[in-house]
Structure 1
Amino acid sequence: RNFLRQRPPPPARDQFAGDEEFLATRYSLPTWIVRQWRELFGERSEAMFAGVNEPATAAVVVNVRKIEPSRALEQLHASGAQARPSRFVAESIVTDRARDNDGWWWTQSESSAMVVDVLLPQPGEAILDLCSGRGNKALQIGARLGGEGSLTCVERDPAKVAALQRRLEGAELSAAIVTGDATADLLEQRQFDRVLVDAPCSGVGIIGRHPEARWKKQSTDGERLAVTQRAVLERAARHVHRGGVLVYAVCSTDPRETTEVVEGFLAHENFERGLIPAAYEAHLTDANDVLIAPGIEGRDGFYIARLERRL
């Protein structure tokens, strides 16, 4: 009983051969993640190690087609929830009672909502969402379009396609859904104003939300998944109008899945980096991509690159 009441003391530094082994044990993380984050984030990394061992911050995205975010915030407060607007995304609300509400809003992390905010879809545009999954970002895009323009979603998993269709109907939003592999030639020569690649990834950025997953990940995951990520990104590029926008996003911080994929793509494609909204200035890399550090203020780790096809 005494053990249950008292947290065991942290391990002593002198019991370990090096800092990485000590930090990995202290914060219950694989050594390779500790090493990678220290290289990427420097002095901030220890706050991240601690942060991913605390509950992740929850949030909802408001269906702006049906309700104003300010009104949704009032309703959450009236229900007794603690809630505040996101400092980054207008339709995102950080709350301790994040749950779906019949298409009026849905559970979606603040970092995930940032992806669509960087994409910046506008009413009247044609948007392509590759690797749509169950559709959080598709719903957010559809709501921003406001009934004007078109949204096409591509997803290979039939169960996720069914969930996406059901959720779109519940939110009173419309989209054309194509079932198939995002690396395949499914859309012929169709082109779009904006294309989102929410690529399959290692998920190392969201281990704070899924603590058990940290031990299932391997240090080789990034290298393996980058093969698919490059293929999806190159396929997506064929569908972007001249002057159009291509956003590449992963819930990972692994350079093999982030900067290395994008730099390799830019080396042989007619694209360049585009402007990122000013709200993200504190989270920009030297190359002007968004990199959200996992565990800081309870956020998920995300990488977002905004690319534009040259005229």
Structure 2
Amino acid sequence: MPSQRFARPTEVPGLAARRIAADILDGVLHRHRTLDEQLDGAGAHPGLKLLDDRDRALMRRLVATVLRRLGTLGHLLSRLLDRGVPTDAPRAQSALLIGAAQILWMDVPDHAAVDLSVRLVQSDRRAAKYAGLVNAVLRRCAREGRTIVDDVRSEGLDIPPWLLARWKAHYGEAAARDIALALGQEPTLDITVKSDAGAWASRLHGQMLPTGTVRTLLQGSVTTLPGFAEGAWWVQDAAAALPARLFGAVEGKAIADLCAAPGGKTAQLVQAGANVVAVDRSPARVARLRDNLTRLHLEAGVEVADATEWPGANGGFDGILVDAPCSATGTIRRHPDVAWLRQHADFAGLTGLQARLLRRAAAMLKPGGILVYCTCSLEPEEGEQAISALLAETPEMRRVPIEVGEVAGLAEIVTSDGDLRTLPCHLPHPEPRLGGLDGFYAARLVRSA
């Protein structure tokens, strides 16, 4: 549990949100805890329950902005600090990061960003001696910071060098740079609607994408938006909504959704008329999946099981969706902690699991049955190479190329092999905040009769 005390009735407005943001940043950067585990569930920060909706939204945006711009912020502070960031007081580091992020990328007056960061260090025993330093550095940031940041805007500093090098090798220098820039944008709210996407786009002050997803810039608690309580729609990135559509007409067909939680793709398949069994190994995630289906008034079979060992119905499914656990590097714009928590060594375990899931799924298909494999990863080992390996060792499986017409005519997201590959820089828009997609890979295979 973080050592800092939480909000007090007489506390300066906004300070509690910044204190909790600093605790959570410390959790990511120094204790290697994910944002998800610190924001939700049993491991959530205990101070969150004391924040109102406005301060909770502010806290989330503070954390996300710092993590999206962490490399640039590190460069900036190295220029503004003669002796580097203090290493004996994590709260001083967090206060500098949060203050600079507000000055440069958030709609917060400079004086407020400086004052609240100073108060943040003053309230911490180890960091209090750095209050004068924080004040001086952030005032200098307000004067000089934008020029320093503009000078390095195109250098990809906000992606760890080892990860950016991988993208350059696989996608080329220009595409890797575009990916890095796209990941720096705050993402939109994308939703999948049951029907009448155009009407919902109007009600939610958004727009309907070519793929049918509704995209909006509305912020705040999703649960208060029109249509949520009635189960008219669910949150799902536009790219994440594509793999389930690759089965084509599914009405009356038996489909297994492996690694299904939180259930967006299950909901798509059920809404389209399929008889779905959703499988996930995590009881907590399955509980969330059940809650989502209940809200959406949709029914599916749900099982808590390890999909690599699940008996299922050997040879009995018309279709199987494998939304495999992966490095999630395609989701960094929504989960910016991923960039700083992932390590190159993580890939070996993940690719082994993906291979086992693919082999198990292939064995559960009927002759003529369709397997759709997808990951929210930009890494070829978790996408193209995984499918190539399965095809090489399983001659009864063959690829069914995806046609451009199946993905709303977006030719740039279909590879030369006929697979799906979305990049964060795809689907550009004159308003940068309305552009972009999560990075996804998907392939469609069929089992020979």
TM-score where L is the length of structure 1: 0.86
Specify the SS of the correspondent of 2:393: coil
Of 118, 133, 141, 1:3 maps to: 141
Partner amino acid for 1:116?
A
Aligned equivalents of 1:44, 1:142: Cα separation in 2: 36
After TM superposition, the structure 1 = structure 2 runs for residues 11-90 of structure 1, keeping only pairs within 5 Å, are: 23=155, 26-42=156-172, 43-64=174-195, 68-76=196-204, 81=205, 83-88=206-211, 90=212
CA distance in 1 between partners of 2:283 and 2:436 (Å): 32
- Paired position in structure 2 for 1:271: 397
- The answer to which of 247-256 and 237-246 deviates more is 237-246
Unaligned runs of 5+ in 2: 1-138, 427-434
Partner in structure 2 of residue 290 of structure 1: 420
Cα distance in 1 for partners of 2:437, 2:310 equals: 35
Q: Please identify the structure whose Cα radius of gyration is greater.
A: 2
CA distance in 1, matches of 2:297, 2:239: 24
8 Å contact 1:27–1:53 — kept in the other structure?
no
- Name the SS of the counterpart of 1:56 in structure 2: coil
Q: Which residue pairs with 1:301 in the alignment? A: 439
Which deviations, in whole Å up to 9, do the C-alpha atoms of 1:233-278 show, x marking residues without a partner? Answer: 1111112121121000000011111111110000121111113142
Distance 2:249 2:188 in 1: 26
Contact 1:129/1:196, CA 8 A, preserved across alignment? yes
Cα deviation for residue 12 of structure 1 reads 7.1
- TM-score of the two chains, using structure 2 as the length reference: 0.61
What amino acid sits opposite 2:376 in the alignment?
C
Aligned-partner Cα distance in 2 for 1:282–1:70: 24
- Aligned match of 1:97: 218
Instruction: Give yes or no for contact 1:27–1:50 (8 Å, CA) kept in 2.
Output: no
Distance 1:275 1:259, change over 3 A: closer
Query: Equivalent of 2:236, from 108, 118, 121?
Result: 108
Return the structure number with greater relative CO, CA threshold 8 A, min gap 6: 1
Residues paired across the two proteins, number: 288
Higher mean C-alpha displacement, 288-297 vs 150-159: 288-297
1:186 Cα deviation from its structure 2 partner: 2.6
The equivalent of 1:16 in structure 2 is none
Q: Is 1:163 paired with 2:288?
A: yes
Once superposed, which parts of structure 1, at least 4 consecutive aligned residues long, lie more than 6 Å away? none
Q: Secondary structure at the match of 2:415?
A: coil
> Could you say if the C-alpha distance between residues 239 and 280 of structure 1 is closer, same or farther in structure 2, counting changes exceeding 3 Å?
farther
Distance 2:291 2:337 in 1: 30
Q: Equivalent of 1:222, from 326, 347, 365?
A: 347
Deviation at 1:11, TM superposition (A): 8.8
Q: Which has the higher strand share?
A: 1
Matching of residues 183-262 of structure 1 within 5 Å: 183-189=308-314, 191-262=316-387
CA contact (8 A) 2:314 2:365 kept: no
Paired residue type of 1:175? A
Counterpart of 1:175 in structure 2 is 300
Structure 2 CA distance for aligned equivalents of residues 241 and 281 of structure 1: 31
The structure whose residues are more often helix, as a share, is: 2
Partner Cα distance (1:194, 1:70) in 2? 30
Give the CA RMSD over aligned residues: 2.0
Q: Work out the percentage of aligned pairs sharing the same amino acid.
A: 30
